[in-house]
Chain A
C-alpha cells in the first residue's frame, strides 16, 4: 500500500472528490445576474480538478498490484462503514477521463445553456463529485452513496435543461437505475452479514469482502443482484431502453457525461464488484453475459443504422460499443479485460465527441434529423474534418483509439469463444456502415437544404472543445502503451482473483480442504503475488472462515 499523495495538505482522492463540490458552493454564491462569472468559475474549477487529477496516472505504479493512493477513515464505526478510498490503474484512468470530460462538457455548454445558468453549472459540478466518488470508493456503502448521489444531478440535468420529452426521459432514467441499485443494496447487506457470519466482523470494506465464503446459490443470487444494477447502467441488451430516451432529451453536456462516464459506472461495477466478489457465479453466467453482450453489439448497431435522428443513432451505437466492453470483460483473460477497460476510455472519448459534434450542428439548425442535412462538408470544412476523425475513431479505424480496444477485446474473446468473437466482429463492420452512411448523408453530396447555406464553421470555443478530445483520440490510437501499462497490475490482479477464488469456493462443501491443499495450484495466472492490497488484514479473514 503506497503512501497517499497529498496536495495542499489534502489527500489527492478526497481533494478530487470534494473540489467540484466546493465549486458548486462557489457557483451558487455568484449572483444569477452574472452568468459569465458563473461559467468562468465552473470551468476553472473543472479544469483545476482535471489538472490535479493528472498525478493519479503519472504517479501510479502500473505494474504493482493492489490499491494505491489509499485513504481510510472511520465513518460509521458501529456499522463497520468506513470512508475508504483508493485507486488502481482501472479506476485511475476512469477518474482522469471523468475530470477531462467534465471540463469539456462545461466548456461545451457555454452557448447551449441560457436559462437557469447558475443552477446548471452547480448541478454539473455536484455530478462530478459523485462520479469521481464512485470510481474511488472501496467501501461498499460509500460506493453506494456516491452511486446514488449521481442520480439526482443527472435527473435534474435531463429534466430541467433537456428537450421536449425531458420529464419522461428523466423519470425513466431514474426509475430504471434506482430499481436496479436498490436490489444491489440488499445484496450488499447479505454479503455484509455473510462475511460477519464467517469471520465475526462487521465491515463493508470491499477488499476484505472479496474473501467472503459464499455458498454456490448465494453467489448466483448476489451476482444476479449486482449484475442487474450494473447491466441497467451499462446498459446491456434487454435493459437498454432508457438510454435512447435519456440521450435524445438530455442537453449536449448531459449526453457527453452520460455516455462518457455514467455508462462506465456500470462496466466498472462489473470489473470492481460483481466479477471479483462472485467469481464462481461470474464464470458460470459468463456465457449468458457474453450472449447478451453480442446481442447488444449486433442489435445496437442494426437499430443505429435505421435511425433518422443523429443523436439517437449515436445513442444506439453506445449500446453496441458497450456490448464490446462487456464481451471483453467476460472473456476474463488479460487481453479481454485490458481491451474492455481501454475501450471504456475510448468510448468515453469517441462517443463524447460524437455527442459534442451533434450538439454543434443542433445549436445551428435546431434539428438533428439526418434528412435535413446534406453537403455540409463544403460549408463547414473544419467541422467536417473533426467529425470525420471522430466517426473513424468510433468505428475503430487503426491508428485511432477505437481500434486498440476492439482489437484487444476480440483477441481476448477469440481465445475463449472463437465463434462468438467472429459474430461480434461483424459489429465492427456494422459500425462502419451506420457511422459512415450517416456521415455521407449529412456531409457529402449537394447542399439540398437552403437553410444550411448560411451556417458558420466552428467558433474558437467549439474548436477548443473538440481539439483536446481529438488529441486524446490520436494519442491513444498511435501510442496507447503508456495507458495500457498502467493497467497491467490491476488487470493481472483481476485475472488472478477470478482464477484463484474459483478453485477455492467452487464446491462449498469442500471449500476448506481445497483451499488449504490446492491453494497454489489453479491456473498460471495466479502467480501474481499479494493479490490483496488489504494485505495482512485479508489473512485472518480467510483463516477464520471456519
Chain B
C-alpha cells in the first residue's frame, strides 16, 4: 500500500502504535478538561485504548510487512511483543489506579506518559533500523525518567529519577556513538543491509565495526540492566513509585531485549562468533551478581530489583544460545517473567502503605496466615520466579537452559541452574517470613480494590497457564522467531 506522494508509509502496519500515541496526546487534553478529583478517570480511558490497541494488534497476527524505507517491520515477533507490551501496560494502569489514590498523587500526565512509554516500546519491537531503534529507546526512556520521579514530594523518587536520567542519558549517548561507528563501518543503519555488508565485503573496517558493536551492546546492556551496567537498577527501582517499578521491570526490559534480539540476530548475525563469548560472560556475570546481591537485601523492592537483574541474565542465555531456538526461549521467558514479576509487584502495591509499611522484608512476617489468598498468590509468584514447577518460571527455564544445552553452552546452563538454586534462598525467604514467623503487630484487615484483584488474577493465570499448558505460548514465541529467520 503506497501513500500519496510516493512515500512508503503504510499506516495500517503501525495502527496499534498510532492508537497508543494519539491516545496519549488525547489524555493530556482530557486531563485539562476534567475537574480536580475526577482526573483519576483518565485511567479508564487509557485502559480502553490499550484494550482496543490489543484487539487491533491481535488482528495483525501472522502478517508480514516492511515499510517506511525498510525502517519498520510488522512480523510475528513485533506482533507478539506488542501484545506483551500492551498487556503489561494494561496491568500497570490497573495497578496504578489504587496506588495513586492511596498515596494521594495527582494522575495528570501520568497515564499519558505510560502510553508514550508504551509507544516507545512498540517502536523498539518493530524497528529494523538503528535509527528506529534509537528513536524507540528515547521515546521510552524520556517518559520513564519523568515517571520514576513522579512523586515530586519524595526524596527517594527524585533521586531515582535523577540517577536514572543521568546514567540513562549517558547510556543513550554511548549507544548513539556505537550506531555512528557502525554506520561509519558499513555505510548504512539498516539492520538488513548491515548484515549484508558484514557478510559480503572483505573491505569492511573491522576495528570500527567491532567498536561500534561493543558500544551498542553497552548501551543496550544498560537498558536491560545487565552487569556490569546494572548499578542504577536498585536505586531507581526502590525510589520510583511502585507501579512504575513494576512497569520498569516488565515492559521496558522486554522491549530492550527485543531490540537486542533484532539488532544482534539480524544486523550482527553474521559476526555472531565475535560477540557471543562476550555476551555469555555478561549473562553469567549478570545472573550471579543479581542473585548474590539479592540475598543481602532487606527491602522488598530492592530485592526484586536485583532479582530482575538476575532474570536479565537468564534471558541473555537465550540470546547467547542464538538461533530460532534460543530466541524463542528468550521470548517465552520474557512472557513468563513479565507475568510473575508484575504479580509480585501487584502484591507489594497492595501491602505497602504510605511508606510506613510493606517496604521492609520483615513487614511480611505472618501475612501468609493473616491474608491467606494474598499469601498464596505471592508464594505462587515467588515459586515461579525461583523456577520451581508447575509454573511459567519453570517452563521458561527449562526452555532456556534447553536452548543453551542444544547450542553447546552446557557450562552456561550449569551456571544458570546454580544461580537458580541461589535464588531459591531469597525468594523462599519471603515465604519463610509469610508462613513461619509471627506477625509483628496485629495486621489490619485488608480490602483489595477491584482493579488490583483483576491484576492479581491476570498475573496468576499468566503465571500458571504457561507452566501447566505451555504449548500455545511456546508456539507463539517460535512463530515470532520464525519470522526473524525467514
Chain A residues at the B interface, C-beta cutoff of 8 Å: 75-79, 116, 119, 141, 144-145, 148-149, 151-152, 155-156, 159-160, 166-167, 170-171, 174-175, 178-179, 182-183, 185-186, 189-190, 192-193
Contacts and interface: CB of A to CB of B under 8 A. Distances in A.
A160 B405 CA distance: 38
B79 to A, nearest CB: 19
A186 B428 contact: no
Given A170-B436, A182-B418, A190-B405, 20 more contacts: A75-B469, A76-B469, A78-B478, A79-B470, A79-B474, A119-B369, A145-B389, A149-B390, A152-B388, A159-B432, A167-B436, A174-B424, A174-B428, A178-B388, A178-B420, A182-B417, A185-B417, A186-B417, A189-B398, A189-B413
B264 interface: no
Interface in B369-412: 369, 372, 383, 388-390, 394-395, 397-399, 401-402, 405-406, 410
B398 A141 contact: yes
B388 A148 contact: yes
B471 interface: yes
A75 B478 CA distance: 17
A465 to B, nearest CB: 27
B425 interface: yes
A175 B424 contact: yes
Interface in B194-231: none
A364 to B, nearest CB: 26
Main secondary structure of the interface of B (DSSP, over half): helix
A375 B171 CA distance: 77
Interface string B75-91: 00000000000000000
B62 interface: no
B26 interface: no
B376 to A, nearest CB: 10
B383 A152 contact: yes
Given A79-B474, A170-B436, A179-B421, A145 B369 contact: no
Interface in B458-478: 469-471, 474-475, 478
B111 interface: no
Contacts of B435: 156, 159-160
Contacts of B55: none
A190 B410 contact: yes
Contacts of B166: none
Given A148-B394, A149-B389, A79 B428 contact: no
B25 interface: no
B421 A170 contact: no
Nearest to A145: B389
B414 interface: yes
B418 A185 contact: no
Closest 5 CB pairs of A and B: A182-B417, A145-B389, A179-B421, A189-B405, A159-B436
26 contacts: A76-B470, A76-B471, A78-B471, A78-B474, A79-B474, A148-B389, A148-B394, A149-B389, A151-B388, A152-B388, A159-B432, A167-B436, A171-B432, A174-B424, A175-B421, A178-B388, A178-B421, A178-B424, A179-B421, A182-B420, A182-B421, A185-B398, A186-B410, A186-B417, A192-B402, A193-B405
Contacts of A174: 424, 428
B369 A116 contact: yes
Contacts of A75: 469
Contacts of B401: 185-186, 189
Contact of B474 (A76, A141, A160, A186): A76
A171 B425 contact: yes
B390 A145 contact: yes
Contacts of B431: 155-156
A274 to B, nearest CB: 18
Interface residues of B, number: 37
A167 B410 CA distance: 34
A33 to B, nearest CB: 14
A186 B413 contact: yes
Contacts of A78: 471, 474-475, 478
A425 B186 CA distance: 76
A117 to B, nearest CB: 12
A179 B383 CA distance: 15
Nearest to B388: A148
Contacts of B418: 179, 182-183
Contacts of A171: 425, 428-429, 432
A174 B402 CA distance: 24
A189 B475 contact: no
A151 B394 CA distance: 14
A290 to B, nearest CB: 28
Contacts of B478: 78
B417 A175 contact: no
B432 A170 contact: yes
A193 B372 CA distance: 42
A145 B417 contact: no
A149 B418 CA distance: 19
Contacts of A189: 398, 401-402, 405-406, 413
Interface centre among A145, A152, A189 (most CB of B within 10 A): A189
Given A78-B474, A119-B369, A183 B432 contact: no
Interface centre among A119, A145, A167 (most CB of B within 10 A): A145
Interface in B428-460: 428-429, 431-432, 435-437
B115 to A, nearest CB: 35
A160 B434 CA distance: 10
Contact of A166 (B394, B399, B424, B436): B436
Contacts of B388: 148-149, 151-152, 178
A77 B405 CA distance: 20
B183 to A, nearest CB: 40
A79 B405 CA distance: 14
Contacts of B421: 175, 178-179, 182
Contacts of A148: 388-389, 394
Nearest to B428: A174
A165 to B, nearest CB: 11
A166 B435 CA distance: 12
Interface in B350-385: 369, 372, 383
Contacts of B390: 145, 149
Nearest to A197: B406
Contacts of B471: 76-78
A389 to B, nearest CB: 36
Contacts of B474: 76, 78-79
Nearest to B403: A189
Nearest to B420: A182
Nearest to A149: B389
B410 A160 contact: no
Given A144-B389, A145-B390, A159-B435, A183 B417 contact: yes
A141 B394 CA distance: 11
Contacts of A193: 402, 405-406
Contacts of B470: 76, 79
A151 B435 CA distance: 15
A155 B434 CA distance: 13
Contacts of A192: 402, 405
B32 to A, nearest CB: 50
B399 A79 contact: yes
A232 B413 CA distance: 21
Nearest to A225: B414
B457 to A, nearest CB: 18
A193 B403 CA distance: 10
A167 B413 CA distance: 30
Given A189-B413, A193-B406, A175 B399 contact: no
Interface string B131-167: 0000000000000000000000000000000000000
A167 B431 CA distance: 11
A156 B436 CA distance: 8
Contacts of B397: 185
Nearest to B475: A78
B372 to A, nearest CB: 8
Nearest to A155: B428
A156 B410 CA distance: 33
B236 to A, nearest CB: 30
